[in-house]
Structure 1
Amino acid sequence: MIDFARVQKELQECSRDIEASGIKVTPKSENLARLTGTIPGPIGTPYEGGTFQIDISLPDGYPFEPPKMQFATKVWHPNISSQSGAICLDILKDQWSPALTLKTALLSVQALLSAPQPDDPQDAVVAQQYLKDYQTFSGTARYWTETFAKTSSLGVEEKVQKLVEMGFHEAIVRSTLDAVGGDENLALEKLCSG
């Protein structure tokens, strides 16, 4: 059984120093078993300036079992699947300890963005690129960060105009932007998928 009192404490701890760490954890549901983590891209990396969303599911054995985490934001990294967002990190598997918290797990994921481990990859294609052509890897990672992890600074009207110019009906564009919280990239994905 999940220790919800502990989860509540962990959420409070995260919200207390969000300004310093930039790490945020918010519930997705009433029962606190499904959460969303948010981490800023580390400075001095191709992920700098991005904000990355991570889906968190707590197993029944939490905190004695590790939380299940995967990136909801697409990211180009050797230890994160570019397809599913699965994360290859020892503390999320066999090196988990009940002494760790959601915040320390997210800090570890953030540290992984700074220090990839291409010899133990989750995504072999990205790991190969990292090892053989770091410049292309870095450019691709930066491009993915710009495309998927940065919220557009455009105002709502500019976003609507841009999407209408692509051939979408204005009323549908406005309702889609509302549904995805103003995220232009998500709106475009939704509009393209019908």
Structure 2
Amino acid sequence: MDTNRLAKELKEIQADTTSGVTVRVLGDNMAHMQGTILGPEESPYQGGKFVVDIQLTNAYPFEPPKMRFITKVWHPNVSSANGAICLDILKEQWSPALSIKTAMLSLQALLSSPEPSDPQDAVVARQYLDDIALFNATAKAWTEEHAKDGAKDEKMEKFKEMGFPEVDIVNALARAAGDEAQALELLLTGL
């Protein structure tokens, strides 16, 4: 992993205050980051702040970052169960010319332009195709509940109250795909 390139990428993200994208390193390990995306205007996600877990392999930038939504989001290309993302540039369309920032901006664009023909969550995709008004209402309700200021990530808060460090909580929730019981077991066993 090219840490000089990563440091440059992070500086570029921090310098851009207009994109609605932020990224920070968790702990001392540059291979694990947390990003946030502001929900696009004129979408059911408007006003939401969506947290994304970002993990890099030693082969980055020759392999894509592994990204997963931590914030629950109702979207055809995002698993409503575990936050897994179906986006071509995070898989076969990745190129070393892309960056963490371009991947995050692509996620933000995906929120505006769902691809129900290539879904991660078939139930959400079916709703999008069959009843767009109900889809928009559901996506907006999930944004209100999970992604707006004042909306608490209950699992995160619960684990913080137990005294676990935030970086460990994020790691455990990401490894457990959001499953609270499994995350607690990981936290208790020291990951």
Q: For this structure pair, what is the TM-score category when the shorter chain's length is used for normalisation? A: 0.7 to 0.9
Runs of 4+ residues over 6 Å off in structure 1:
177-181
Alignment counterpart, residue 23 of structure 2, candidates 18, 22, 25: 25
How far does residue 91 in structure 1 lie from its aligned partner after superposition? 0.2
Structure number with greater CO (CA < 8 Å, separation at least 6) is: 2
- Matched residues in 1 for 2:163 and 2:13: separation? 28
Q: What does residue 145 of structure 2 align with?
A: 147
Structure 2 counterpart of 1:81, which letter?
S
Structure 2 counterpart of 1:176, which letter?
E
Superposition pairs of residues 25-104 of structure 1, within 5 angstroms: 25-104=23-102
- Matched residues in 2 for 1:178 and 1:52: separation? 24
1:12 aligns with 2:11: yes
TM-score, normalised by the number of residues in structure 2: 0.79
Q: What does residue 164 of structure 1 align with?
A: none
Structure 2 counterpart of 1:14, which letter?
I
**RMSD of aligned alpha carbons:** 2.2
- Matched residues in 2 for 1:143 and 1:180: separation? 30
The 10-residue stretch of structure 1 (68-77 or 19-28) with the greater mean CA deviation from structure 2 = 19-28
Count residues in correspondence: 162
- Matched residues in 1 for 2:100 and 2:162: separation? 31
- Matched residues in 2 for 1:59 and 1:178: separation? 29
Q: What does residue 176 of structure 1 align with?
A: 161
Q: What are the superposed Cα offsets for residues 163-190 of structure 1, whole Å, 9 maximum, x if unpaired? A: xxxxxxxxxx9x7399799xxxxxxxx8
Secondary structure of 1:21's counterpart equals coil
- Matched residues in 2 for 1:129 and 1:26: separation? 34
- Matched residues in 2 for 1:50 and 1:180: separation? 25
How far does residue 31 in structure 1 lie from its aligned partner after superposition? 2.1
Gaps of 5+ in 2: 153-157, 167-179, 185-191
- Matched residues in 1 for 2:163 and 2:133: separation? 38
- Matched residues in 2 for 1:14 and 1:146: separation? 26
Secondary structure of 1:65's counterpart equals coil
Structure 2 counterpart of 1:100, which letter?
L
Quick check: which has more Rg, 1 or 2? 1
Q: What are the superposed Cα offsets for residues 17-57 of structure 1, whole Å, 9 maximum, x if unpaired? A: 1x211210100121200000111000000000000000000
* Sequence identity (%): 56
- Matched residues in 2 for 1:82 and 1:102: separation? 23
Gaps of 5+ in 1: 154-158, 160-172, 182-189
- Matched residues in 1 for 2:44 and 2:99: separation? 27
1:108 aligns with 2:93: no
Structure 2 counterpart of 1:22, which letter?
G
How far does residue 59 in structure 1 lie from its aligned partner after superposition? 1.1
Alignment counterpart, residue 130 of structure 2, candidates 119, 129, 132: 132
Q: What are the superposed Cα offsets for residues 128-179 of structure 1, whole Å, 9 maximum, x if unpaired? A: 00000111110000000000001218xxxxx9xxxxxxxxxxxxx9x73997
